[in-house]
Structure 1
């Protein structure tokens, strides 16, 4: 079977309104894809940069797939969270990007967004914390329902990904 090995890291994030951020990430692939080795999801540590604009995580990604076809090519989805001084966690953004199909090293920027919510939810979020979240986080990377959401643009998550492909030509899988 054709193989794809994805190695890299969730480097960090920029452009968010507050510091003290962490990231929950995952890789989603279609039904024709099977994991040989590695983790399909993870979570970074909280980073509180003192004098820098970028929250640095350098969290590793290492996953090895076998596949029968290109349908359902893997994509990375992220959730960025802010931890306040009281230890409360607040969702700051969702995002996803497709893993590049070409072998090699890739620097990827993943833009994020969060649900806008109503005026009363905005006031509650300001004074109490929290805020609107998706009931089904899979909506971030699947389906057209995502385009019906009212959202607010947030920051960017930076990824450094290396893609290694093997036996694609032998099994008739063409990129």
Structure 2
């Protein structure tokens, strides 16, 4: 079977309206893929930047997959959250990207978005906090559902990933 190692880190985030940010993440793959080792999901610590609007997490990602086919190539799903002084959390953005298919080290900037909501929801979000969220976060990656959503741009999540494919050429796949 062909294998894929993904080793790297979620470096941080920039461009979000607040501080005290953390990121929930997960790697999802199709049915032909089997996770051999590593954690398929996790959460970073909360970072409170002092000087600029960049949150640094340096959270490691280390997963090892085996596959029988290319369908369902792994995707990385991201959710950026804000934690206020009372410990309440508020969603700041969703992001999704495919793990690069080319071997080597990749520096990636993943733009994020969040549901826009109606005018009363936006007004309430401004004064009370909170805001609309997806009932099913998997819809953030599903193309048909995602394109029907009304969204607004959020910040950017920065990643550094090393991709190591193994035995793909043996099975007739060129990366």
CA distance in 1, matches of 2:143, 2:52: 37
CA distance in 1, matches of 2:112, 2:169: 35
Corresponding residue for 1:40?
40
The within-5 A match list for 1:148-163 is 148-163=148-163
**Unpaired runs of at least 5, structure 1:** none
Corresponding residue for 1:94?
94
Corresponding residue for 1:20?
20
The within-5 A match list for 1:1-175 is 1-175=1-175
1:170, distance to aligned residue in structure 2 (A): 1.4
1:36, distance to aligned residue in structure 2 (A): 0.5
Between stretches 163-172 and 26-35, larger displacement belongs to 163-172
SS in 1 for 2:138: helix
CA distance in 1, matches of 2:61, 2:8: 5
Q: Does the CA-based 8 Å contact 1:81-1:93 persist in structure 2? A: yes
SS in 1 for 2:123: helix
CA distance in 2, matches of 1:153, 1:159: 18
CA distance in 2, matches of 1:91, 1:66: 33
CA distance in 2, matches of 1:4, 1:103: 10
CA distance in 2, matches of 1:25, 1:64: 16
Equivalences, count: 175
The alignment yields a C-alpha RMSD, in angstroms, of 0.9
SS in 1 for 2:147: helix
CA distance in 2, matches of 1:52, 1:127: 24
1:106-140 Cα offsets, whole Å, 9 max, x none, are 00111000000011111221222211000110011
